[in-house]
A and B are shown apart, each in its own frame.
Chain A
Amino acid sequence: MIARAAATVALLGRSPVGCLGAAIVLFWAAMGILAPWLAPYPPNRIDPALIAYPYPTAANWLGVDQLGRDILSRLMWGARTVLTVAPAAVLGAAALGTLLGLVAGYKGGAVDSILMRVGDTLLAFPKIILYLIVIARFGASAFNIIAVVTVTQAPIIARIVRAVTLDVKNRDYVAAARMRGEPTWFVLLAEILPNARGPLVVDFFLRLGYTVIAIGVLGFLGIGLPPPDPDWGSMIKESYGTIFVWPHMTLIPALAVSSLVIGFNFLATGLREASEDG
């Protein structure tokens, strides 16, 4: 396992795009992890004195927002938020989707039909409404956003896993496992699932990118993570009205969120190329 991961990293090393992606993601991860130590100011500290001149200065490298909060600090803490919520949400979706996909693909028949139909319905459901209903009902919290993303993305992951399962379940080694009387859960988790790892890992990073966008959109529409803790989408929304005078307040978080998504997508591209060549 470790050897394989190391091999993948080595292969990734040969993809310039993948390296760039990994570098961007690692950069933001470092920012997020080290925010408590690196951030020059508390992210929510409001300083009315700074509002008069909110532009980048020696004290506030990226300037302050309309409440006089240090943008760099908020950006770093925002990285921490998004890099916690997005992976948690995608992991949740991956766990649920993988389970459903394995069961649907392996069992086939009515179980498959029903699970896939439920998934299709969920996918046909206008997402924004689902988000709104859940958030209106249960409030805008990181947990609820994770839950909603999990539910809306799981069907897609289930499809990927189901496709792999349908392919793999007819492989001879699965037959061999059944012939030694392995229980279904073992066949699913030990024999089939590891073979979905490649597509799942690539999809994981792509999906992280989408999720970062989704969280940003929720923030931008004003139904994202609750203030005051910094969330890049909300930072854009809050300052968007001032773009004509203080564009940096909006453009900096917009650049941050774009770069992170680019990072994830490049990383996924690199991993895909690595798996193709490997």
Chain B
Amino acid sequence: MADILSLEGVSIEHRGRRGVSRILDGVDLSIAPGEAVGLVGESGCGKSTVALAAMRYLPRGMAISAGRVLFEGRDLAAMDEGELRRLRGRRIAMVYQDPMSSLNPVMTIGRQLVEVPMLHGERDAARARDRAIAMLREVRLADAEATMERYPHQLSGGQQQRVVIAMALMAEPSLLVMDEPTTGLDVTIEAAILELVRDLRARFGTAILFISHNLGTVARLCDRVGVLYAGRLVETGGVREVFRAPAHPYTRGLLDALPDLDRPRGGARLAPIAGTLVAEDRARPGCAFLPRCPHAAPAACGAGAIALAEAGGAGHLARCARLGELPARMAAATDAAAQAEEGPVLLEARGVGKWYEVGGGMSGKPRRVIRALTDASLEARRGGTLAIVGESGSGKSTFARVVAGLAGEARGALSLAGEPLSGGVDSRPRELLRRVQMVFQNPDSTLNPSHSVGYALMRPLRRLRGLGAEEARQEAARLMARVQLPAELAERRPWQLSGGQRQRVAIARALAGDPDLLVADEPVSALDVSVQAAIVNLLADLLAGSDMALVLISHDLALVRHMADRVAVMYLGRVVEYGPAAQVFAPPWHPYTEALLAAAPRPDPDAPPPEIVLAGPMPSPAEEIRGCVFASRCPRRMEGICDTLAPPERVFGAHRIACHLELAAPG
């Protein structure tokens, strides 16, 4: 049967004020009916452009400069507006990254859904409506009729994405283009959406072009995969072949950079890919990956265009000049140095909580209490890493901010090396400020765009360590060396730095005061995988041999597994499970921990589908919950107990689980 979609040597150029740049370079890709093809790559590789090209909806300034995009054999470029309209929504539909902004905020879900059949030949509004309700049921939205009357903002992120998927499937298209459909969603929601898509695909037989930076999601859903780098397809093949036996050094790098959920701390050092993608790489005549490739041979790789070549199994192609000469992939080496013993307790939290009052007063809104964090008792030891894991809204960041003093006065007792660590930064003495520092999540906002890197480092040196200008300058240079940043970056502004570099500066800044406790709130989650690994390694190196304690906040279980000595699992402001990493990652589990582990995506096509898929959204932190906070979503909820009584704490040595279930001690 003919391909649904095929890209034949498609090149796309962007003409802007800064000249012409090549976004895609000779991409060949085809999708057969009912097939799911994944497209992976880091940010800036051009994967979203492929999606838009498939719908002939390129942003202004972009145009196809070579090649053709064929839909069911017909060139999209040759179609007129009317034909295109009949195609869009009817034959090809799209699911987008950010469901909230993809839905019109001022129209009801129902109207937005009904539009699709009405645009494509349906005359009977009632029939279109029935169809919309049926489709909402297909995407397993609980109350389909009521959802029709709702506005997008009244739904949770997961529900919104289900609506978008329903909208895409309304006309039963033959191709569904999904552009990062689960990015930004929590892992449990992501798992549920992926399951839904798998299921729908099986029922409707829709072909899927699935675009993601997350190798795990691609592995879970796709038949074939293409790897993009700098606008070029560097490797393509069956998902199993590519993930098991990656042929291109870039693909290998991507896979090796990921922490492994099954390998604990000290198990291995991550293997980052050196450098970052820069604009010049796009125009490189030979291999675009050359400057970052550990196996590059400039003579062979930089000479001229490199064709896709057979790399093992059927249909497994890679674009590498040294395809045959590459050494076999090596198992990551264990790093003995990282296996240091934990020291004495540095940070101790006893019943720490943070409730906010919102509304009331002059705002005219009713007063509500947001229970961001309740009754958290944790400790971090010198030389060790305390990881706090949970989905958004779990209170993990609130804990970090309470420790850092950014959340103001908190409930409960917090102490640092036995001394009380109370109040916000404004009331902490300078010495205490110096001892607790923080690394933030977002590399875009961690540095002030109006200050140079050097200034950002010198300022804390002068304030926290009281250094003079010249001393501070020298010390800043040392700090930069310590985080492996070239000295000349000191004069640069944040926007002239890559995300990874910015995060290094942020770490250097946090280290400036030579702190005892470093709080890192999702330090790598906004970075590309290849860069992520380098930062993780840097943090590990910094910790090794120091008696600094790290509090790591993360949603990524694999990363936590890789870094943590102790792990706390949080849900809706409460610690539901806490203990040494090894014990937390082994049964018995809190049902929530279990669900998180099941949902965590693994870049393994043969990993079994998750057994537990959590339904529904997390309740609002403003709700007062009498029983277990997890009861509303718990797959093992016991009627009458879980939603009325607070769960008891079950203690297995240093391992604590807050659950009503009679959990067996590890045997």
Contact = CB atoms under 8 A, between A and B. Distances in A.
A194 interface: yes
Q: Which of A175, A182, A194 has the most CB of B within 10 A?
A: A175
B405 interface: yes
Interface string B451-484: 1000010011001100000000000000000000
B463 A194 contact: no
Contacts of A179: 404-406, 425, 433, 436-438
Nearest to A178: B425
B445 A178 contact: no
A176 B17 contact: no
B540 to A, nearest CB: 22
Nearest to A176: B509
Contacts of B437: 179
B430 interface: yes
A180 B17 contact: no
Contacts of B438: 175-176, 179
Given A113-B362, A179-B425, A181-B430, A173 B446 contact: yes
Interface string B408-452: 000000000000000001101010010011101110011111110
A104 to B, nearest CB: 13
Nearest to B515: A179
A197 B506 CA distance: 24
A171 B513 contact: no
Given A179-B404, A180-B433, A181-B463, A195 B442 contact: no
Given A113-B362, A175-B440, A180 B464 contact: yes
B448 A194 contact: yes
Contacts of B459: 177, 180, 182
A171 B448 CA distance: 9
A172 B446 contact: yes
Interface residues of B, number: 33
Given A181-B425, A181-B433, A173 B406 contact: no
Q: Give chain B's interface secondary structure class.
A: mixed
B535 to A, nearest CB: 15
A14 interface: yes
Nearest to B509: A176
Q: Which of A172, A190, A195 has the most CB of B within 10 A?
A: A172
B441 A172 contact: yes
A194 B449 CA distance: 9
A199 to B, nearest CB: 14
Contacts of B460: 176, 180
Given A14-B17, A178-B406, A195 B449 contact: yes
A176 B430 contact: no
A175 B406 contact: yes
B464 A181 contact: yes
B448 A195 contact: yes
B463 A182 contact: yes
B446 A180 contact: no
A171 B445 CA distance: 6
A180 B450 contact: no
Contacts of B436: 179
A118 to B, nearest CB: 14
Contacts of B425: 178-179, 181
Interface in A165-221: 171-173, 175-182, 190-191, 194-195, 197
A171 B463 CA distance: 20
Nearest to B431: A181
B426 A191 contact: no
Q: Which of A14, A176, A181, A277 has the most CB of B within 10 A?
A: A176
A194 B513 CA distance: 25
A172 B440 contact: yes
Given A176-B460, A180-B513, 9 more contacts: A176-B440, A177-B459, A179-B404, A179-B406, A179-B425, A179-B438, A182-B463, A194-B448, A194-B449
7 contacts: A171-B445, A173-B445, A175-B404, A176-B509, A177-B459, A181-B430, A277-B17
Interface of A: 14, 113, 171-173, 175-182, 190-191, 194-195, 197, 277
